[in-house]
Amino acid sequence: MTRFSVCTVIFMLFSSISVIAQPPRSAPTPNDTLQSVRVMDDGRVEFSIYAAKAEEVLIDGDFLSLSGQVFGRKTAMQKTNNGVWKYTSKSLPADAYTYSFVVDEVKTLDPLNALMKESENGYDNYFVMPGDAAAYCQNVDVPHGSLQEVWFHSDVTDKMTRFHVYTPPGYELMKKKLPVLVLQHGGGDNDGSWSTIGRANFIMDNLYAKKAAQPMVIVMPMGHPTDGFYSSLGLDDDPYYDQLFKEILPLVEKRYRVKNDRYSRAYAGLSMGGMQALNIALFAPEKFGYVLPLSTGFFEPQRKKLVSDYEEVLKNPEINKLKLFWIAMGGEKDIAYENGKALNKIFDQYNIKYQTSTYDAGHTFITWRHNLLEFAPLLFQD
């Protein structure tokens, strides 16, 4: 056999192997060109997912709270002839919204959308509804700060844990130390929630671009370092407080150029994190100059115990030395609304000074993003 013939045989052999090794192409489906989130001209949003063999598909998301429905109560989607399930919302204002699908009782992420909200036990998708009203939380062409994950071993829980840190644009060139905002998530979420669906870093970037806020370092801890939901009064039961004061804040002071005096620290938390904010305001007011509970309020048993067992706490003059005690709610649709209103009455009885604010979007990150947008410019003003 000639050299040319040998080369030809080898080439044909490898070509055959290559063809065999390639996986067969799947048959085309509607999913190949599907647009899973389509914003219509009138502000309605059409959600779609291809699930040809499914018997039932539901949708959930905080956008339902603005569509006359209850967030957390899943809504049926309709199946079309080509196996695509669809749901069309009512008209929505420009903002960011979560959603997820439930396919035959299994929560399913949108395979066509890489934007995801991180929480303690999983993920949800989200989308940003375009429009001027959403500009506050959009990723636009302005100077951006840095977002970092900080891992450390916690002696309090004897395990590795994590918190997020946001530093403002130009931080690397700043010589002065900055104040610190602790920004706490709620129950079921985690330290990544404020920087995904909360879009805290983009909100702050856009505020700084308008020179509307003082430069600050934002620390976003994991709010429940152990299993369980703590709603007790005080700082003793929940290991979170030991982790915050003995580990997280000292580590932040070691790694970042930050101030550590009372009036250079602010604490804001939502829902469960709001209860943690209330505990800090009442039981450790000397540690922070600004405390901002969002969408929260002690439950009735805790309120009764607060009055019966902790009257000296309610009379602590350090509470009224807070530069800002700012209590925000998501309107009457907020599941914490009644608890918050009842707790404020107790504060009134004991002459505790506070300010209130409302953004009427219920117990959702829609409310809490707008809370951040409103209170961040109030912090650390001379």
Q: What is the pLDDT of residues 67-114, one digit of tens each?
A: 666 556 789 999 999 999 999 999 999 999 999 999 999 999 999 999
**pLDDT tens digits for 41-50?**
999 999 999 9
- Average pLDDT (335-361) is 97
- Average pLDDT (191-214) is 97
3-state secondary structure of 22: coil
Vertex 214, ends 210 and 218: CA angle to 5°?
110
**pLDDT of 10 strictly over 50:** no
**pLDDT of 303 strictly over 60:** yes
Residues in a beta bridge with 60: 100
Phi-psi map region of 68: left, alpha, beta (phi>0 left; psi -120 to 50 alpha): left
pLDDT, averaged across the chain? 92
- The H-assigned helical ranges of 88-227 are 200-209
Tokens describing residue 227 = 């299993």
Phi-psi map region of 225: left, alpha, beta (phi>0 left; psi -120 to 50 alpha): alpha
Tokens describing residue 71 = 């967030």
User: What is the C-alpha to C-alpha distance for residues 205 and 145, in angstroms, rounded to an integer?
Assistant: 6
User: What is the C-alpha to C-alpha distance for residues 127 and 39, in angstroms, rounded to an integer?
Assistant: 10
Residues in a beta bridge with 101: 59, 108
pLDDT of residue 230: 81
pLDDT of residue 241: 96
Smallest Cα–Cα separation from 222: which of 153, 369, 364, 120? 120
User: What is the C-alpha to C-alpha distance for residues 262 and 319, in angstroms, rounded to an integer?
Assistant: 12
Contacts of 190 (CB under 8 A, 6+ apart): 118, 119, 120, 222, 223
Structure-token match 């809370």, residue found: 371
3-state secondary structure of 46: strand
pLDDT of residue 382: 75
Smallest Cα–Cα separation from 299: which of 350, 352, 335? 335
Q: What is the pTM of this model?
A: 0.88
**Are 214 and 290 spatial neighbours (Cβ–Cβ below 8 Å)?**
no
Give, as one character, the DSSP assignment of residue 135: G
**pLDDT of 336 strictly over 80:** yes
Q: How many CB atoms lie within 10 A of CB 136?
A: 19
Q: How many CB atoms lie within 10 A of CB 309?
A: 11
**pLDDT of 302 strictly over 70:** yes
- Average pLDDT (213-226) is 94
User: What is the C-alpha to C-alpha distance for residues 117 and 68, in angstroms, rounded to an integer?
Assistant: 23
- Average pLDDT (200-206) is 98
Phi/psi at 174 (5° precision): -80, 135
Q: How many CB atoms lie within 10 A of CB 97?
A: 26
Indicate the pLDDT class of residue 23, thresholds 50, 70 and 90: low
**pLDDT tens digits for 121-141?**
889 999 999 899 999 999 999
Task: Give the percent of the chain with pLDDT over 70.
Answer: 92
Residues in a beta bridge with 107: 102
